[in-house]
Amino acid sequence: MSTTIPTFSGYGLGLRKEHYRDFLEGDVPVDFVEVISENFMVDGGQPRDILRRIREKHPVVLHGVSMSIGSSDGLDRAYLLRLRALADEIQPLFVSDHLSWSRVAGFSSHDLLPVPYTGEALDMVCRNIEMAQDALGRPMLFENPSSYVAFEGAEMAEWEFIGAMAKRTGCGLLLDVNNVHVTAHNHGFDAHAFLHGIPAAHVRQIHLAGHTEGPGLLIDTHDQPVCDDVWSLYATARSLLGDVATMIERDDAIPPLAELLDELAIARAIGQRDELHRVAA
């Protein structure tokens, strides 16, 4: 099944509270912003007011961290209702979450835990995606997470799992290039095989972020600038995917807005170079 999610070209930033004032009072040169959905799934108050005002200036992506699409327990209906209400009000560019799980048996880890790449898990994830998309009344994007554990007994590669998931459910894909780099390093596979293996026609958005080098593993910390290896991988992704909405995602050690805009300018330059190559070809 192909995805029905319209494409969008442009460059954006993850909106964090340190930059609310810049976005509310200034004219920040971005094509869209992305917010963490759960931060705004509240009854009222200043957060919702700020989001409404920023929505008047920019398209907004709702990016969730708590749907737990890989949960063997199914999905939390109360969560879906709150997300639906927020999406209906904000009319987002995309609604996204992660190919991961966080909740089981009344416990919620609040971390993006890895899904085993098995047929059983694929069936479960696809059922959950169909339930989520029905509840929200719109197709979603799902992001490849960073992973630190590869389960024994995997029946397929991560990109094969993602491809099957997208084709069966019609969902879109949010390609996190940093996560590809981190997971490829941690599990010893070729990041380019991942990029070539996912269904390009389903990719609607790209995340770029930084990571930290831990003992033997790369850790997806989002507290660093994008590194050269990830920029290089992004250039490859652009050559394979074309003009896909791209953004910088920083969640910790938030720098002044100007620094993030400088990073976004690098992404723009890579994208423009890719467009020139396409025209020349």
Partner 1 sequence: MKLAALQDQFRQWLVTGDEAGTEAFGASARPGLQVYQNNYRVQLMGCLEVSYPLLRRFIGEDAFREAAITHIDAHPPRGWTLDHYGADFGDTLRALHPRNPDLEELAWIEWMLGEAFVAADTLPATPEALASVDWDHANLVLAPSVRVRRAVTNADDVWMALRDGEAAAESEWLAAPEGLLVWRRDHMARLRRTDAVESAALLALGNDPGFGSLCETLVALLGEEAGVQRAGQLLADWLGTGVVLGVTDA
What are the residues binding partner 1 (CB under 8 A)?
38, 41-49, 66, 71-73, 76, 78-79, 101, 103-111, 113, 116, 118, 120-121, 124, 147-153, 186, 214-217, 219
Our CA angle for 183, 201, 244, nearest 5°, is: 75
Nearer to partner 1, 121 or 244 (CB): 121
Least distance (Å) from partner 1 to the CB of residue 110?
5
Least distance (Å) from partner 1 to the CB of residue 166?
20
Nearer to partner 1, 56 or 107 (CB): 107
What ranges in the chain are assigned the alpha helix state H? 20-25, 46-55, 77-90, 119-136, 158-169, 177-187, 191-197, 228-241, 257-280
Least distance (Å) from partner 1 to the CB of residue 123?
9
The answer to whether the Cα torsion of 129, 131, 132, 138 is positive or negative is positive
Least distance (Å) from partner 1 to the CB of residue 248?
22
Residues 6+ apart with CB under 8 A from 274: 235, 238, 239, 242, 243
Least distance (Å) from partner 1 to the CB of residue 34?
18
Nearer to partner 1, 3 or 178 (CB): 178
DSSP string across 172-226: EEEEEHHHHHHHHHHHT--HHHHHHHS-GGGEEEEEE---EE-SSSEE--S-SPP
Nearer to partner 1, 131 or 261 (CB): 131
Least distance (Å) from partner 1 to the CB of residue 39?
8
* DSSP single-letter state for residue 18: G
Nearer to partner 1, 1 or 85 (CB): 85
Q: CA-to-CA distance for 109 and 101, rounded, in angstroms?
A: 9
Give whole-number Cα distances, 100 to 11, 137, 144, 146, 266, in Å.
26, 21, 8, 10, 30
Longest dimension (CA), the chain: 56
Least distance (Å) from partner 1 to the CB of residue 227?
19
Nearer to partner 1, 7 or 118 (CB): 118
The answer to whether the Cα torsion of 36, 211, 182, 263 is positive or negative is positive
Least distance (Å) from partner 1 to the CB of residue 276?
41
Nearer to partner 1, 128 or 169 (CB): 128
Nearer to partner 1, 15 or 241 (CB): 15
Q: Is the CB of residue 103 less than 8 Å from the CB of residue 73?
A: yes
Query: 171: number of CA atoms within 13 Å, CB side?
Result: 33
* DSSP single-letter state for residue 253: S
